[in-house]
Structure formats: C-alpha cells, structure tokens
Amino acid sequence: MNKTALITGATSGIGQATALKAAEAGFDIIITGRRAERLAKLAEEIRAKGVEVLPLHFDVRQPQEVQNAIDSLSGKWRNIDVLVNNAGLAVGVSPIQEGILDDWERMIDTNVKGLLYMTRAVAPLMIARNGGHIVNLASIAGKEVYPGGNVYCATKHAVDALSKAMRTDMLKHHIKVTNIAPGMVETEFSIVRYKGDETAAKNVYKGMTPLTNEDIADTILFAITRPAHVCLNDIVIMPTVQANSRDVYRQ
Ligand code: NDP
Ligand code: 8X3
C-alpha cells in the first residue's frame, strides 16, 4: 500500500514540486492551499502519475478550517505518513520602525500559527499509528537576519525552534521531524513579498543562479525516503553563489 503525504501550499513553488515528485515516488497525496482551481489542475497531473490524490482548499490561518479539513478525512486518507508544513510567505521589506502591521499579521499568522494549527490537527493521527514524519519549511532566514527581513526572519526562527520542540515532544511516538532551511529559491515567493511587483521580484535573483523549487523538492524526497531508523534533523541548502543571508555573488 502507498504511503500518504499531506503537503500544504501545494498550489505553487516548493509545495507544488514536492507534490509532483512525491507522486512520482509512489506516495498518495493530499494537496492543500487556498487557490482551488490550481489544486484541481495539480490533482489531474498527480492522478496521471498513477497515484491517488485528494485536494483540500482552506486557509491555514483559520484554525477551524484546518480542523474541519482534517476531520473531513476518511478511510485511508486519515493514515498520513508525512506532513509537509510548507505554506508560508514573506510580505514586505520595510525596516521594523516603518513596518506595516497587516504584513506582520499575515506572516505570523501563516508561518507560525498556520504551521502550529496544521501540526496540532495532524500529529494526533500520527501518534495513534505510532509513527510519522513532519517536514517544516523554515529558511536561512530562520538561522540569520538581514536588513528588512525582521518579522519574516522572526517567524522562520520560530519554525526552527518549533522543529526542535516537536522532535522532543514526539520522540516517544516515533515521529521524525525534519527542518529544511533553504536560501534563495525562485518561486512566486518574491512576487508575494513585493506585493505583485514583478520587476522588484526579478531583481532579487539578478545576476545569480538561485535554487529551484525542484532542488528543494528533491531534498524533501530524500529526507522522507530514508530508512525508519534515520532522521535528517536539519538541512541548510543554499545556491552555490550564496554564502549566507547577506553575501551573494552576482555577475
Ligand atoms: P510560493 O509563493 O511559490 O508558495 C507559497 C505557497 O503557500 C502557495 O502554495 C500558497 O498557496 C501557500 N499559502 C500561503 N498562504 C497560505 C494560507 N494562508 N493558507 C494556505 N496556504 C497558503 O513560495 P515558496 O514555494 O517559495 O514557499 C514555500 C515555503 O518555503 C514558505 O514557507 C517559504 O517561507 C519557504 N521558503 C522559501 C524560500 C524562497 O526563497 N522561495 C527560501 C526559504 C524558505 P495559496 O496562495 O493558494 O493559498
Ligand atoms: C526565503 C529566503 O533569503 O529571502 O526564506 O529570506 S530569504
């Protein structure tokens, strides 16, 4: 029987590539996100790979929507082997003293509270089966800070801490927790961060070769296909031309 993976934020970028690669590896997939049409299209692509797929559209910031979505699962779909907490975003690059409160709320509610709501809803199902694997998308922004990164960096530092905390709390339930900390990955991330300004978003990657969503998906697939006794706790993955949050070599 196939294993089952639930991936949040599967409508774009890293989540979408992870869903497709996990399907190719023989996982049945629950794909989630807010954009229902994109989920429907991705579901068709996944089905064509010969595995089962269940699209669920909801907003991870809404605890009742999250709980209702997980409660709606029946039969085999309740046997979630892998939860990929990927949904997340950066909004804005203002210095802290000029910060826009709505941007802060969106980042904290999505990246921290959304990840917590998902984990709170899914972990009991894993515990009941005495095993599972949670993969949290943190960031190099969860290890370092950079100008204008303030609240986004704080949310990803929180994810980094929560990965360690989850690993401790769920140790006796044989649940693996993997923290993934990428550097720059060209997805819709910067378009969201710059609020639809595609020129500003493109400039982020000007003169350098960023990671792709597939690079991160490959890494996640490697982590979730290790033997039962092996857990990759924390993976930092950077473009070759990015040394840290601030040093990027551009042509
Ligand atoms: P994208 O913008 O391409 O994808 C973000 C995904 O998150 C979308 O599928 C979006 O779906 C989903 N999402 C956002 N808000 C919500 C919400 N409230 N409820 C449900 N789903 C939501 O960005 P990436 O693929 O790059 O980002 C994925 C993760 O990787 C994020 O956590 C990000 O912080 C992290 N990351 C990204 C890096 C990068 O450079 N790109 C580097 C390091 C980490 P929808 O809008 O349909 O709801
Ligand atoms: C996204 C990478 O460098 O923009 O988490 O913070 S960065």
User: What is the tens place of the pLDDT at every residue in 130-175?
Assistant: 999 999 999 999 999 999 999 999 999 999 999 999 999 999 999 9
pLDDT, one tens digit per residue, over 180-229 is 999 999 999 999 999 999 999 999 999 999 999 999 999 999 999 999 99
What's the CA gap between 76 and 80, in Å, rounded?
Answer: 8
Amino acid at 173: H
Beta carbon of 11 within 6 Å of any ligand 1 atom = yes
What single-letter DSSP state applies at residue 48? T
Please identify which of the residues 146, 152, 194, 205 carries the catalytic annotation: 152
Q: How confident is the model at residue 108 (pLDDT cuts 50, 70, 90)?
A: very high
Amino acid at 112: V
Neighbours of 224 (CB within 10 A): 21
Q: Which two tokens stand for residue 114?
A: 């959304």
> Cα–Cα–Cα angle for 102, 55, 215, nearest 5°?
75
Model-level pTM?
A: 0.99
What's the CA gap between 191 and 221, in Å, rounded?
Answer: 26
Beta carbon of 245 within 6 Å of any ligand 2 atom = yes
* 205 is known as an active-site residue: no
